[in-house]
Amino acid sequence: MTLSGMSTPLLGLVDTAVMGHLEAAYYLGAVAVGSLVFSFLFWGFGFLRMGVTGLTAQALGAEKPSEVVGTLSRGLVLAVVFGLLLILFQNLIISATLFLIETSENVESNLAVYLDVRILSAPAALLNYVLLGWFLGIQHPRYTLYLLLLVNITNIILDVLFVVVWDWRVEGVAWASVCAEYLGLLLGLYLMGRYLKRRKISWSWRADMAFNRFSGLFRLSANIFIRTLCLIGSFAFFTLQGAKYGEVTLAANAILMNFQTFMAHGLDGFAHAAEALVGKYFGRRDYQRMKQAIVVCSFWSIMIALVFVLFYGLFGDNLIHLLTDITEVQQTAMMYLPWAIAAPLISVWGYLFDGIYIGMSWSAAMRNTMLISTAVFLVVFAITQQWENHGLWFALMVFMLARGVTMGFVFWRKKIA
């Protein structure tokens, strides 16, 4: 799962690098904001992956194969519906984004091009979310690795081809993502079919699509949606506020947020392992093994966080120079690098508890703790605005810390059997 997760931020690094080596900072700024918009949109539907993982793992632990497949079929239907709705409302999405962002005309024009193309990947991206969640739930992380590697390696190759070779610039980055998502979907459907065929599991669409069968997934999804909306909204707020400090600061923050994303996906490996293992043992009511899984995942999450701190501390300046050769952006990013170095140890707890909570389907607690953490973020930012971009980074770190503290407190209070 760690290998699977690390392939995704590598794509972000390549996107940043191919844009960062063009002649102007506004290309990088446009892709940074555009990527954030789709993170907001797609991660907003992250409940499709998280809800499917938790429910599938619990059904597997309880030895209910019909529910394992039923959870998958309901997730796939929802993904298709939501994906088509995003395409249907693409003009509204683009107009709202351009209305909300306060930046230069160059960034806005390139951003509109990026959004117009990238929205076409919506159905494939959401279907892939469901398949990734289901593969985790059935304890087949290798399938997740295969799918993500294909998507991200294809995306990287097409980035280089479309941007560096064919000079499509922002449009090339967007088309690379669209092509990669649909290719990944084909592989995901093939792996799904192979699993079902080997186990001789048949579909029961009439039973799976009964409205009352959606209730558990809907309830879980609603809480996770609110939680994810707050999380992505906080990162969107961070990017949009950074844009107010100019194109150079926007580009520098985009580079350092790649550090955060890279770290998050590395830590997510053990969070995803916690989802699958905790869900399985929770469904089986084997609380002793569930606690053991939590302890092991916690230990290795902390170890990985320390590795990231050391790596960023030693090689952070080299990474910045690798991602852009624009001197102003390099100097500005170096100024705020210490925040990216400290981030892993501050953020690790939130990612870990996310996995534990999803495994046990504690979606209401995830929602409530995230609402509290988001409120803390906004209050701290309001207090530290005079520090400008340093205040923005400080508020983000407090937000990540608040996530871990509030989730840890709730976990301690629930006293697992």
pLDDT tens for each residue of 243-252? 888 888 888 8
- Cα distances (Å, whole numbers) of residue 276 to 33, 58, 83, 85, 403: 33, 9, 26, 30, 21
Note the pLDDT tens digit of each residue in 183-198.
999 999 999 999 888 8
Residue at token pair 């592989």 = 187
* DSSP-derived 3-state class of residue 345: helix
Q: Across residues 234-238, what is the average pLDDT?
A: 86
Residue with the larger pLDDT of the pair 97 and 289 = 289
Residue with the larger pLDDT of the pair 178 and 7 = 178
Exposed/middle/buried for 14, CB within 10 Å: 0-12, 13-18, 19+? buried
In the predicted structure, residue 353 carries a pLDDT above the cut 70 = yes
In the predicted structure, residue 64 carries a pLDDT above the cut 90 = no
16 token code pair: 């940043």
Domains: count for the chain? 1
What is the domain extent for residue 172? 2-414
Tell me the pTM: 0.73
Specify the pLDDT at position 204.
Answer: 63
In the predicted structure, residue 417 carries a pLDDT above the cut 70 = no
